[in-house]
Amino acid sequence: MGEVELSCRAYVKMYLHSCLFPRCSINGLLLSSSSAGGAVCVTDCVPLLHSHLPLAPITQLALTQVDVWCAQTQQRIVGYYQANACASDCSPTPCALKIADKIAEQFESAVLLMLDGSKMSPDDRVPPIVMYERRDSKWVLKDKHTIMLRQWEETQAIASQMLESGDHALLVDFDGHLDDITKDWTNQTLNTKIAELSSPANGNI
């Protein structure tokens, strides 16, 4: 199907989310601020949960809130990401498929992204990402050549650097917001930090 581009900000936040909760399954939503049609450009992500992923009420609540926020900020939900607690297992769980199906109802070219926990060390050259797309009501693996990460080395460097300096503790997911509603699940502070670290040459953040 179409091409998918993953921005630095989206990747770094996903990476930091999985590093913040290394012992839990985590999930989140992928957002895009560019217009529909052509390549899907994932520009941002919203980390959602790190506990009880299959339970319905909080997931429904989070989807509604993110939907409303997206409508206000001219973004749309274009995908879903998940990282399983068991690092060696990166196959989508039934709840991942369910949520991805729901997103695909609203957006045809939705993507399902699984983070591969076994390939997340700084020595690994390839992005630890497995992407699925929807074809004939089933989720099939996407052709690797249609997935783009611009300036991958730089993105990886930023992610490692932020992990080293402990910035992953600044990330707030929806679960964290419910524990303390003063925390901002859109992670504006983290977005600013990522923007500061990426070089001016990196066009699409």
Partner 1 sequence: MASLSEMYDVGWEEMRDKLRKWREDNCRNSEQIVDVGEELISEHASKLGDDIWIIYEQVMIAALDCSRDDLALTCLQELRKQFPDSHRVKRLTGMRLEALERYDEANKHYDAILQEDPTNTAARKRKISILRAQGKSTEAIRELNEYLEQFVGDQEAWHELSELYINEHDYGKAAFCLEELMMTNPHNHLYCEQYAEVKYTQGGMENLELARKYFAQALRLNNRNMRALFGLYMSASHIAASPKVSAKVKKDNIKYAAWAAAQINRAYKVRGSRSTRTMHSSYSAALSATESRVFHMTLQSPTHQLKKKKNGFICCILTFIRYLRTSSHSVNLFICIKLERNSLPESASLAFICKVVIPTLVAFTPSGHIYSFCIKLRL
Q: Report the nearest approach of partner 1 to the CB of residue 90 (Å).
A: 12
- C-alpha R_g of the chain: 16
Q: Does 58 bind partner 1 (CB under 8 A)?
A: yes
Q: Which lies closer to partner 1 via its Cβ, residue 143 or residue 179?
A: 179
Q: Which pair of tokens denotes residue 97?
A: 């498929």
Per CB under 8 A, the list member of 2, 36, 39, 68 interacting with partner 1 is 68
The Cα–Cα gap between 194 and 205 comes to 9
* 151-152-156-161 Cα dihedral, nearest 10 degrees: -10
Per CB under 8 A, the list member of 36, 56, 140, 148 interacting with partner 1 is 56
Residues 183-202 that bind partner 1 (CB under 8 A): 183-186, 188
Q: Stretches 1-9, 104-112, 154-162, 181-189: which one binds partner 1 (CB under 8 A)? A: 181-189
> Site for partner 1 (CB under 8 A): how many residues?
30
Q: Which lies closer to partner 1 via its Cβ, residue 67 or residue 154?
A: 67
Q: Does 101 bind partner 1 (CB under 8 A)?
A: no
Q: Which lies closer to partner 1 via its Cβ, residue 188 or residue 199?
A: 188
Task: Give me the 131-170 binding string for partner 1, x by CB under 8 A, dash otherwise.
Answer: ----------------------------------------
Q: Report the nearest approach of partner 1 to the CB of residue 182 (Å).
A: 4
The Cα–Cα gap between 199 and 108 comes to 33
Residues that bind partner 1 (CB under 8 A): 23, 52, 54-58, 60-61, 64-65, 67-69, 72, 86, 89, 93-95, 177-179, 181-186, 188
